[in-house]
A and B are shown apart, each in its own frame.
Chain A
Amino acid sequence: MVIADEGQLIQSSRKGDLDAFNTLVQVYQRQVYNLCLRMLGSAAAEDAAQESFINAYRRLSSFRGGNFRAWLLRIAANICCDELRRRRSRSAASLNATLEAGTPADVPSQLAGPEDEALRRELGRHLQQGLAALPAEQRLAVIFRDIHGLSYEELAEALGCSLGTVKSRIARGRARMREYLMARRELLPGQFRLEE
């Protein structure tokens, strides 16, 4: 979602108008929170999302125009990567436990019926585990592209790298996800079962 007077809100926020900044927060908080959710699991997502907005407010003066969503998501991505790095230094086991425990697959879906709901949860769980197995850069690229629907250009801005690198990371991430899902083909719900 892009708001018509986003530029005006950013200008006001830079001058210290907290209400203007909070309007921006309300527009983008779902995307930022979902990014943190997919990267860190539900336990740490809230804190990471809040920290992202606090950092964004502090760094508003360094925003030099361009795509505000990509800029904001980049801040959130950096915070997620920092958190992952901290966790890795503590313990690899706790990372996996956190990611698996807090999967966002238990979000109510549009499908009717408990069976469909269970199937969707199962697929969501496998997808989240597959994502958790990716290196952080590839995971970010796949989440941004396939879940958040960012364009390659926005991705380049959000990840701070070239289009060539973006393409490569998406391709590698997707290839790994494909391998992960294909190895569990028989466990996947029928409606999403990959073709033989």
Chain B
Amino acid sequence: MLEVLLQFRHRRFRRDLSAYLDDMLSERARRRLETHLDSCQACRQELAELRSTVEALGSLPMAEVPRSFTLAAAPVAEVRPRPAARRLEFGLRLATATAAFVLALVVVGDFAGLPGDGEEEEGEMPAMLAPAAAETQRAMEAAPAETPAAMTAVPVETPEPLVPGITDVGRLAPEAGTGVSEEEYAEKEAMEGAEVEEEAEAGAANLEDEAEAGAWEVQGVADDEGGLSREEAVRWLEVGLGAAVGVLVIVWAFARFQRSIGNRP
């Protein structure tokens, strides 16, 4: 157990060596690493090798430009989606996700017997008309016999559009890869987050860095493999979800309508 812990600490210190060379460790982490270096020959060796590597890289000369890259004429303006169109697209995506969420709430509420249209009426009516309330009560008693048959498919399918719809809107907002300016706000937040992270406990920070870097690498690989086609795929998925939600709403409304007609005397 102790051996495993020591190995873990050793690996953590090894990861810090690069930042140590650049003087990018916090005072506390730096002192801890230096204490470790005093007693660890392997880390001292690795630090020396790393330093030599960095020096070798730094010794690479900067090549002279083969020609001037100045522009002879102003390039034609880039054809990019207008901001208004982008906002509209974002709004539509958000609307899709919201519609899915609301639909899920309505369907769940409908089946769970939470206050809905019929029950609100029921709450108000006893004060006015007792016979009408009794009628509604009879309708409620008759409903369970029909409901499962009419609505079985709905609750199974609704959660699916809900989750990806919301996730996708959040993830696609920065639109990575489309340009520089779109990510600036996200960048600022991310950098602030990283500064806070730097002040945090060294062990936890390293683990977070590891996880974060891993996530980025996975993202990078996914981007490399998917490219623009993935963006297109997500877009089509959202369109499909929107259509599915629309169909569900129609089916649900139709079923409600049928039920209300069936319950009438």
Please list the residues of chain A having a beta carbon within 8 angstroms of any beta carbon in chain B. 16, 18, 21-22, 25-26, 29-34, 37, 46, 49-50, 53-55, 57-59, 62-64, 66, 71, 74-75, 78, 85, 88, 104-105, 107-110, 120, 123-124, 127, 135-137, 142, 145-147, 149, 152-153, 156-157, 160-172, 174-175, 177-178, 181-182, 192, 194-195
Contact = CB atoms under 8 A, between A and B. Distances in A.
B134 to A, nearest CB: 65
Given A58-B78, A85-B224, A21 B181 contact: no
A37 B71 contact: no
A147 B212 contact: no
Contacts of B68: 25-26, 29
A136 B209 CA distance: 18
Interface in B182-208: 182-184, 187, 190-191, 193-195, 197-198, 205, 208
B212 A78 contact: no
Nearest to A46: B66
A96 B61 CA distance: 21
A164 B214 CA distance: 12
Given A85-B224, A174-B18, A22 B52 contact: no
B149 interface: no
B64 interface: yes
A178 B50 contact: yes
Contacts of A120: 59
A195 B48 contact: yes
Contacts of A171: 15, 17-19
Nearest to A16: B74
Interface in B50-66: 50, 52-66
B59 A123 contact: yes
B170 interface: no
Chain B contact residues: helix, strand, loop or mixed: helix
B5 to A, nearest CB: 22
B181 A177 contact: no
Given A167-B209, A174-B54, A162 B64 contact: no
Q: Which 7 A-B pairs have the closest CB atoms?
A: A62-B181, A163-B194, A168-B213, A171-B18, A162-B194, A146-B57, A22-B70
Contacts of A163: 191, 194-195, 197-198
16 contacts: A16-B74, A30-B64, A31-B62, A57-B71, A59-B179, A88-B224, A104-B60, A137-B216, A153-B191, A160-B176, A164-B194, A164-B197, A165-B216, A171-B19, A192-B56, A194-B53
Contacts of A50: 69
Interface residues of B, number: 63
Nearest to A152: B24
Contact of A59 (B180, B209, B220): B180
A106 B238 CA distance: 52
A110 B61 CA distance: 9
B57 A137 contact: no
B73 A18 contact: yes
B197 to A, nearest CB: 5
A146 B191 contact: no
Given A58-B75, A58-B77, A171-B18, A32 B198 contact: no
A172 B213 contact: yes
